[in-house]
Amino acid sequence: GAVVSQHPSRVICKSGTSVKIECRSLDFQATTMFWYRQFPKQSLMLMATSNEGSKATYEQGVEKDKFLINHASLTLSTLTVTSAHPEDSSFYICSASDGSLHGELFFGEGSRLTVL
Amino acid sequence: SQELEQSPQSLIVQEGKNLTINCTSSKTLYGLYWYKQKYGEGLIFLMMLQKGGEEKSHEKITAKLDEKKQQSSLHITASQPSHAGIYLCGADGGGSEKLVFGKGTKLTVNP
């Protein structure tokens, strides 16, 4: 079945630095990828929708300059948390969709970001 | 590792009919989430269940978590075309940072 790989699975960084998280579709072309954030014991919160070759669409309340999303190819989308602060510490997860799979979503395993 | 099995995989119902989607876990659930996805869009959070026997409702959708916390059901009453989409259950296994999802149930509601 379709596989989505997310990297890194865990990252610890210092406050003020930037961190990049990658989301790759390994065996299908993902025209659309979604980025979510999850706080402890809470549901996933959709941050943005990323379409290959175009600018990401951000959900209300998500700072686009803070969370930079790039979908440069049909198999790769990246989320960069810029000038990270401790409140950015969270679990980030991506999902990918291919229209030929009838809209089915495939999820990465998530990335745990800890900002010190 | 924890696995979530959803059934049925797909469901076609006539508008106005009731339906139930099930989500069964291989391990005890510490948090069970229900989401809906419309084609080409991201997940929409529906409900979260944490306690054994808990039941929550939102409009015509009701979700329950069994006492043993290993099975959840999502029930839609008097379905409408707007209910169509893919319903996903997701779980927090407790102590694990990895979220686990079922494979989804594709619901079609015919007018």
Write the pLDDT tens digit of every residue in A78-109.
Answer: 999 999 999 999 989 998 876 554 556 788 88
Q: Take residue B30 and report the two structure tokens written for it.
A: 């510490």
In eight-state DSSP terms, residue A55 is P
In the prediction, which pLDDT does A78 show? 95
Q: Which of B39, B45, B101 sits opposite A43 (nearest CB)?
A: B45
CA angle A59, A34, B101 (to 5 degrees): 120
In the prediction, which pLDDT does B97 show? 52
Q: Which of B40, B101, B106 sits opposite A97 (nearest CB)?
A: B40
Q: Does residue B27 have a pLDDT over 70?
A: yes
Dist. CA A40–CA A92, nearest whole Å: 11
Q: DSSP for B24-86?
A: EESS--SEEEEEEE-TTS-EEEEEEE-STT-EEEETTEEEEE-TTSSEEEEEESS--GGG-EE
Q: Take residue B75 and report the two structure tokens written for it.
A: 């029930």
Mean pLDDT of B80-106: 80
Q: Does residue B68 have a pLDDT over 80?
A: yes
What pairing do the DSSP bridges indicate for beta strands B61-65 and B55-58? antiparallel
Q: Is A91 on the interface with B (CB under 8 A)?
A: yes
Which of A52-56, A112-116, B38-42 has the highest mean predicted lDDT (pLDDT)?
A112-116
Q: Which of B11, B37, B43 to mutate to test the interface with A (most CBs of A within 10 A)?
A: B43
Q: Which of A43, A91, A104 sits opposite B104 (nearest CB)?
A: A104
What is the least distance, in Å, from the CA of B34 to any CA of chain A? 9
Q: Take residue A74 and report the two structure tokens written for it.
A: 């049909």
Q: Which of A105, A109, A113, A114 to mutate to test the interface with B (most CBs of B within 10 A)?
A: A105
Residues from chain A contacting residue B91 (CB–CB below 8 Å):
none
Among residues of chain B, what percentage have pLDDT more than 70?
Answer: 89
In the prediction, which pLDDT does A99 show? 59
Write the pLDDT tens digit of every residue in A4-49.
Answer: 899 998 999 999 999 999 999 998 888 888 899 987 666 778 899 8
